[in-house]
Structure 1
Amino acid sequence: MARLHAVSGRSVTPLSTGWELCVTEPGGTPAGDWLPAPVPGTVAQALREAGLYRLGDPLPLHDRDVWYRTRLTGDGPCTLRFHGLATVAEVWLDGERILSSASMFQRHDVPVTLHGVHALRIVFRALNPVLRAQKGRGRWPVRLAEPAGLRAVRTTLLGHMPGWCPPVPAVGPWRPVELITEDGPLRVRSADMRAMLEGRDGRLSLTLAAEWTGSAPPPGWLEVGEMRAPLRWTGPGELRGAVRLPEVAPWWPHSHGRPALHPVRAVVGDERVDLGSTGFRRIEREPGEGFALRVNGERIFCRGACWSSPDIVALPGTRDAYAPWLELARQAGMTMLRVPGIATYEADAFFDLCDEMGILVWQDFMFANFDYPADEAFFDVARREAAQFLDRVQAAPSLAVLCGGSEAEQQAAMLGLPRERWSQPLFDTVLREETERGRPDVPYVTNSPTGGPLPFAADAGVTHYYGVGAYLRPLEDARRANVRFASECLAFANMPEAGALPGVPAVHDPRWKARVPRDPGAPWDFEDVRDHYLRMLYGGDPMVLRYEDPDRYARLSRAVTGEVMEAVFAEWRRVGSLCAGGLVWMFQDVWPGAGWGVVGSGGVPKAAWHALRRAFRPVQILLTDEGVNGLAIHLLNETAEPVEAVLTLTALRRGEVPVLRAERAVTLPPRSAQAIPASSLPNRFMDLTGAYRFGPPAHDAVVAALSDPGAGAPMAEAFHFPQGGRMERADLGLGARVERSAEGWSLILSSRRLARSVHIEDDAFRAEADWFHLPPGGERRVRLVPRHPGAAVPDGEIHALNGLDPTRYRGVA
């Protein structure tokens, strides 16, 4: 049902205090010490808080039973609501079993009658005996997750995927436990709310399954913002109404407009039902062989990343847990996050924040890789799971794509099974039907990837693109593969900042290598992939560099994955590209180290995050090498307003001397993309790409910039290096001064020569923008963000990959 944020006469009491847990042998009764336990929370979280567990140590909870206990007080009939019990659980009230559950993804409502103080216990049964008892085998083996019995058990694969994820067991009441009592005349059982954008008008319909316990039920009203319409009793226990909002402010992704939300309420007599907020938008899948989304009639280039968890130990679901991560996604210009089928369904607060921030959500149902049971009992479990999830997010405008699951079709195809065995009724029928019933306004995709002659074909449907990446293809493959939509792409072992894994030397230490992601069974890992592109872009032997200059190796490693990502997204966003989106694997790391995440597990952005922030700008300039046709300049404006700017093109010799400079005033119409030959700007020929090879190159860098004609500050910059990424190290004349204002500390940077991958190292502050190229002759202001509340005065160094020595800076208190 749609979330009932508040109902007159309904009291919702979180049962979140006074819980204790005890670990026992399977089938045993608690006899040992009881530990304080957070609820909602997990056993691993409780043990961590007690100092009994840390990531990396085995925690064999799947061979144990875990008991939780607390006391609750009540008087009269009420409902115990369990939002999520991981995974095989029984609930006992005063020694009587009142619930058995075998899915961590289902909510349970249990009616009870209380009189005074009662003992509530939950036992989470050992999972391994359940898995060993599973009968039947899938049609193919799965190496991603183990053991194979997971195919028939509804639990997360997080913690079961060796090669990139620590073995953290998801056990416990991971979602809230509540006590619900009702004493008002209006008893609301469920709410069905549908928000639609019809032309330029909004329309919202509401059906309340409700009872009026008084005499004659009074009339009702449906209120959306300042608009209202009657709610009528259409039969016993049902209220219906609809309201139209002329010229409504629509909901947009933050890149394209304002994510407008409108409060919704129902009023029946003196009783009020708060239904939260919703937005009016229209999401459609474009017809054709590819995959593209239109939002409110506008084609959206969806860019972002795949989500894991804010904390793989606690699996939190609160607004405070999500907000810092989602704010980093928004700051990076990400317009879409994908919750993959290996993870969990996130809590309501996740969707509330995505609604508010204008971040689209690609939501997999929690199925991945396996050949799932094809019997009605399993289908019924899947239907209830999907229906409950869709009910609680039915008003979320951020929900943009629903997907049956991850890599099941790909797994079957890559193992050489016949084509007719790639599909499963779970994805083709069961989940499709639930999507059409619960969110008919959201496009459904059977699997990620899917479409084309092979599920993972890049030039049709939805792909997982690792041509540039794990398959070690050259950067040109990003164009050659004709990617239409990459719901996963560009996985690298993204190097964190220094000290992110305390006490563990980077690269060579076994403790470091244990946290480098790898595909199970592969004779390589994703640091090998990163080294391949380090050699390709910067030259030299990464192994020799690690031996002789490990500090420089680390800096190049941080920079290279971001440079690759920028180059790929420039190809995909350029004018003429058919690509409609790319989601990087992944957004955040699940533990400290060189993981796939572009943000470390502690919430600190890596160099790749800063690169994506540049690549994802809604007002953007791109440079692409078009061979003998020269350099193309692509100007993008995704916003609803025209942009007046000055386009500047500069060619530099030795990164310092301008041998060509041209500029032009340009207008970027709303929601537009245009390509300009760079050769059309100057009044003379210059071989900007080195395509013609007429003698030695006259320059080694080309800088294109879009600048505000008033302030002169660059909105966006793009760089092209005709001789590739290899760089000569020199004295750059890199300067820095510290300024303090009411908003905080800033650095003012300048350079005599073009500085490559400028980065700021400061123990107390991090740079809001980092790992950027700095052209000569101007200044750039970079805001400093405190790393902790005690950060007082900036004191650090400025580095550049092509510089000889760092530049020191220090603020004055």
Structure 2
Amino acid sequence: MIDLTAADWTLALSEPGAVETPEAADGLSGRVPARVPGTAAGALAAAGRYDPDNPQPLHDKDVWFEASFGAEPGRYRLDLEGLATIAEVYLNGAPVLESRNMFRKYNVEVELAAHNRLQICFRALEPHLNAKGPRARWKPQLATSQGLRLIRTTVLGHMPGWCPEIHAVGPYRPIRLEKASSPRMKNKRILADLAPDGSATLTVSAALENISATPVLTSAGVSAEMARQDGGTFAATLRPGNITPWMPHTHGDPALYDVRIKAGEHEFDLGKTGFRRIEADPGEDGKGFGLQVNGVPVFCRGAVWTNADLLGLSGDRETYRPLLEAARDAGMNMLRIGGTMLYESRAFFKLCDELGLLVWQDFQFANYDYPVKDEGFVEEVRAEIRDQLTDSQGCPSLAVLCGGSEIYQQGAMMGLPEERWKGPLCEEILPELAARFRPDIPYVPNAPCGGVLPFSPNEGVAHYYGVGAYLRPLEDARRANVRFAAECLAFSNIPDQRSLDEGLAVKPGHDPRWKARVPRDRGAGWDFEDVRDHYLKTLYGVDPAALRYADPDRYLDLGRAVTGEVMEQTFAEWRRKASPCRGALVWTFQDLALGAGWGLIDAHGRPKPAYYALKRAFRPLQVTVSDEGTNGLAIHVINDLPNKKAVTLTLTCLKDGHVPVVSGETDLVLDPHSAHELNAAQLIGAFFDITYAYRFGPPSHDVTVVRLVDKETGEILAEATQFANPADFGRCPLNVDARINDALPNGGIELTLQSAHVLRGVHLHCADHCPSDNWFSLTPAAARVVTLTPLPKSQVSKANTPEVVISALNCVSRITLKT
């Protein structure tokens, strides 16, 4: 095999149509080195000719990629896994391929000489975006060009207010050459199934070329000869015993098994698979949506994935790993690839398989009225879906296939009747392909969909922004009766100060550089900083504008805290036993540019304060509380894990943040995959106005602390705090017992914190380390141990001796520890 990743690639730019032939491209000047897989934007940026912070258009130019290489002369197969977008491929001056679809994978047989030159011309997309097409029934505000509905390319880079306008141009996925005579497998089908009785079945079929020996399939300790089928393919079914079912990591073990085909001396590695059964659960009334994995109801929580590398569109394991591990470490069990993004590579799914993360995959259609009466367009769609679903064959993490994002919603919000916005793309074409290539996965026509209107949150799948963009009170999360939120809770989440200092050294407010990084919906007269400010005023009782003028640093800190608090409270509502909600995914997982974007992870790859709030909200072993008014304080206890757990539940009400007023406890045995609801009165054993609903005199306490404690070890598994007045921060000196424990083997730092008073929004800053928890409440009578893990070398500062700086929102001072 010849991997052209190692070839010396260059690129050059020209005006659209100015260079018509590969020979004429020799005269182009200004060539720069390029990486393949990679993009024009990435190569130009590396050469100092492109600024990702102020991107220049690339869709108004032709881009010529070129590489020369040697080979043993003969017939070869040329594999091209992703060309963005209008591409012409030439080998030794002769045309071998034309592509108009970024999401296709191609295999072309070619003749190589001893010395070869491969040229790929990416024609300017702009003329194609401006071309006339079938009349659209509606025109969304999502992107700058209505022509995107006619071209199969990503919408990333075309959505002002959502992400930088970095255009996707180039061979962004690998290019390889393999001798035509070498053994080859194609048209593979892998189906790993788990029956309700626990028995596992693996069915594999594939066409084999240049192989005469009978192939043998092996997996999970069993093997079987593959039988030749009609059409020349081979197939076999294995029924391994004593396997461990694959489960999302929050509910069990994501167990995987190698799958191999051996034919004579040659062996094909089909990767790993997991045995699991995923079923859509509409609920008792048939109007909801949820997932059961191996018969176990799973509350799906996580976020909407954007992209790991907008500049270069990398799809390798090294790029994905730190982000996907951060998702796993936060207790997420699902990521959604939305229809406004990009199909990710197999490396993404393999990592999700290993980490126990479910993937909701939108097909790459969003908002537009697509020309499904155009037979050529539909054939491209069929080929695209075949290529993408074949690539993820056998991956147990792929859990939901969805027809796209907000197509139904756009048509319905334009006032069109259902028969105009519900069409054959999502109702016929895509589900047929999904059933053919991944029959093991539920299909959802669109996100959102269901209900009287497709965006009604009380049926089917919702995009819920009642709490959030629509400025509804936190109680709306219950009132809206959300069944499943495929996206929700979009806020302008502020990164920690280090990220702002490094990438956006401006004060918050109306500085154009700050506002340019605050997300907004195109055409709206408000942005998502306005949304955050609304909840800052509602929850904390401060005037955001006045605070920003007087104390911009305090404004930032309260802004960092408030979005996490809203998210944490909302998920506490949705995860309680009586809630009809079966899953919710935050918009979005990671930022695409530095600043206060939607992401929970900033553009440097560092967790934001909101990330830590969700890490607490997503714990598999969890306790939360909810104010039920005159019904008192409800305590919600959850055990998502597959093992029974004996715990002690404790409750303490404190006055002035440290004086116990009333307390109680009870022992519980939590069954696997169970949820419980108790009333605080059951722990206290008598009447106490814990929610201050009866108002017999002034409040007798200001904070309630509920802990879930491991009965065997005494470890605090989870903790919930409720403040009688969330706006009362009571600024005082920081009085905390903080000590650094022994150094950890990986260069990490273990820190123990303890305080006699309740501390709110405790945040730790250590330049070269990432804390295991941050922006948390520290309550009396319990020590908190926080681990600080070294950052990757690329993020490490030049300081020799790191310091740990500890602050809290209700304290006017801070302390610094030398490590």
Q: What's the TM-score, normalizing by structure 2?
A: 0.95
Cα distance 1:792–1:768, how it changes in 2: closer, same or farther (>3 A)?
A: farther
Distance 1:82 1:265 in 2: 24
Task: Assess, with a 3 A threshold, how the Cα gap between structure 1 residues 788 and 322 changes in structure 2: closer, same or farther.
Answer: closer
Write the distance in 1 (CA, Å) between the matches of 2:740 and 2:800: 13
Q: C-alpha separation between the residues in 1 aligned to 2:265 and 2:233?
A: 18
Does residue 284 in structure 1 map to residue 279 in structure 2?
Answer: yes
Aligned to 1:428: 427
Once residues 364 and 82 of structure 1 are traced to their aligned partners in structure 2, the CA distance between those partners, rounded to angstroms, is 23
Q: Does 1:651 align with 2:673?
A: no
1:498 deviation in Å? 1.1
2:246–2:254 CA contact under 8 A, matched in 1: yes
Q: Which moved more, 1:777-786 or 1:691-700?
A: 777-786
CA contact (8 A) 1:14 1:177 kept: yes
The one-letter code sitting in structure 1 at the alignment partner of 2:789 is V
1:461 partner SS: coil
Task: Indicate whether 1:67 and 2:69 are aligned.
Answer: no
CA distance in 1, matches of 2:291, 2:808: 39
Deviates more, 1:292-301 or 1:654-663: 654-663
Letter in 2 for 1:256: H
1:773 and 2:761 are equivalent in the alignment: no
Residue in structure 2 matched with residue 36 of structure 1 by the alignment:
33
Aligned equivalent of 1:348, options 343, 346, 349: 346
Task: Name the residue aligned to 1:3.
Answer: none
Once the two structures are superposed, the pairs formed by residues 357-506 of structure 1 within 5 Å of their partners are: 357-375=355-373, 376-500=375-499, 501-506=503-508
Contact 1:732 1:751 in 2 (8 A): no
Match of 2:390, SS state, is: helix
- Following superposition of structure 1 onto structure 2, how do residues 268-347 of structure 1 map, counting pairs within 5 Å? 268-287=263-282, 288-347=286-345
| Greater alpha carbon shift after TM alignment, 132-141 vs 787-796 | 787-796
Q: 2:818 aligns with which of 803, 810, 813?
A: 810
Q: Give the partner amino acid of 1:611.
A: A
Shift of 1:391: 0.8
Decide whether the 8 Å contact of 1:200 with 1:246 is kept in 2.
no
Equivalent residue number for residue 586 of structure 1: 588
What's the CA shift for 1:165? 1.0
Q: Which residue of 2 aligns with 1:90?
A: 88
CA distance in 2, matches of 1:259, 1:12: 34
After TM superposition, the structure 1 = structure 2 runs for residues 232-271 of structure 1, keeping only pairs within 5 Å, are: 232-235=227-230, 237-271=232-266
TM-fit CA distance, 1:765? 2.5
Structure 1 stretches of at least 4 aligned residues deviating more than 6 Å after TM superposition: none
Deviation, structure 1 residue 713? 2.5
Residue 50 of structure 1 deviates from its aligned partner by 1.0
3-state DSSP of counterpart to 2:696: coil
Q: Check whether the contact 2:507–2:552 (CA below 8 A) recurs between aligned residues.
A: no
Secondary structure of the structure 1 residue equivalent to 2:522: coil
Closer, same or farther: CA 72–190 of 1 in aligned 2, 3 Å: farther
1:747 and 2:747 equivalent?
A: no
Match of 2:600 among 590, 598, 601: 598
Match of 1:660 in 2: 662
Q: Which moved more, 1:784-793 or 1:618-627?
A: 784-793
Counterpart in the other structure of 1:799: 807
Q: CA deviation at 1:662?
A: 1.3
Which of these residues, 121, 139, 142, is aligned with residue 141 of structure 1?
A: 139
Query: Helix, strand or coil: the match of 1:740?
Result: coil
CA deviation after TM superposition for structure 1 residue 484, in Å: 0.1
In the TM superposition, 1:508-587 aligns within 5 A as: 508-587=510-589
Q: What secondary structure does 1:598 align onto?
A: coil
Distance 2:792 2:446 in 1: 42
Paired residues of 1:16 and 1:176 also in contact (CA < 8 A): no
Deviation (angstroms), 1:311: 1.4
Q: CA deviation at 1:110?
A: 1.0
Q: What SS does structure 1 have at the residue aligned with 2:251?
A: coil
Letter in 1 for 2:805: E
Render the CA deviation track for 1:210-264: whole Å, top value 9, x for unaligned: 2455xxx433321103111221233563222111012321100000001000101
In 1: Cα distance, 2:634 partner to 2:160 partner: 44
**Do the aligned residues in 1 keep the contact of 2:133 with 2:150 (CA within 8 Å)?**
no
Q: Distance in 1 between matches of 2:519 and 2:427?
A: 32
Change (3 A) 1:786 1:211: closer
Q: Deviations over 1:257-298 (max 9, x none)?
A: 010001011122232221111000000001311101100001
Return the offset for 1:114: 1.2
Alignment deviations for residues 486-544 of structure 1 (CA, whole Å, 9 cap, x no partner): 00000000011114233222233110101100111111110000000001111120110
Which segment drifts farther, 63-72 or 235-244?
235-244
| Counterpart residue number, 2:22 | none
Superposition map of 1:155-304 within 5 A: 155-184=153-182, 186-198=183-195, 199-212=197-210, 217-235=212-230, 237-287=232-282, 288-304=286-302
**8 Å Cα contact 1:211-1:238 kept in structure 2:** no
**Structure 1: distance between partners of 2:497 and 2:725:** 30
Q: CA-to-partner distance for each residue in 1:82-128, whole Å, 9 max, x for gaps?
A: 10110001001111111110011001111011121111100000111
Residue number among 20, 23, 30 corresponding to 2:10 in the alignment? 20
2:149 counterpart SS class: helix
**SS at structure 2 position matched to 1:62:** coil
Aligned to 1:5: none
Give the match's secondary structure for 2:556.
helix
- Residue 665 of structure 1 deviates from its aligned partner by 2.0
Deviation at 1:12, TM superposition (A): 5.5
The one-letter code of the counterpart of 1:734 is V
Shift of 1:435: 0.3
Amino acid corresponding to residue 662 of structure 2 in structure 1: L
Moved more, 684-693 or 470-479: 684-693
Q: Quick check: 2:504–2:513 contact (8 Å CA) kept in 1?
A: no
Contact 1:735 1:807 in 2 (8 A): no
Contact kept? 2:649, 2:707, Cα under 8 Å: yes
Contact 1:69/1:119 (<8 A) preserved? yes
CA distance in 2, matches of 1:434, 1:21: 37
CA distance in structure 1 between the aligned counterparts of 2:696 and 2:726, rounded to whole angstroms: 18
Cα separation, partners in 2 of 1:219 and 1:406, compared to 1, 3 Å: same
Counterpart contact for 2:640–2:674, Cα < 8 Å? yes
Farther off after superposition, 245-254 or 459-468: 245-254
In structure 2, the residue corresponding to 1:61 is in which secondary structure?
coil
- How many residues matched? 797
1:239 maps to amino acid:
F
Match of 1:721 among 720, 723, 739: 723
Q: CA deviation at 1:164?
A: 1.9
Q: Partners of 2:571 and 2:727 in 1: how far apart?
A: 17
Q: For residue 395 of structure 2, what is the amino acid of its counterpart?
A: A
1:560 partner amino acid: V
CA distance in 1, matches of 2:744, 2:724: 43
| Alpha-carbon distance, 1:742 to partner | 3.2
CA–CA distance in structure 1, aligned partners of residues 782 and 55 of structure 2 = 54
TM-score normalised by the chain length of structure 1: 0.96
C-alpha displacement at 1:550, in angstroms? Answer: 0.9
- Structure 2 unaligned segments of length 5 or more: list them: 20-24
Q: 1-side partners of 2:209 and 2:154: how far apart?
A: 37
Does 14-23 or 217-226 show the bigger shift?
Answer: 217-226
Structure 1 position 758, deviation (Å): 0.5
Cα drift, residue 732 of structure 1: 4.8
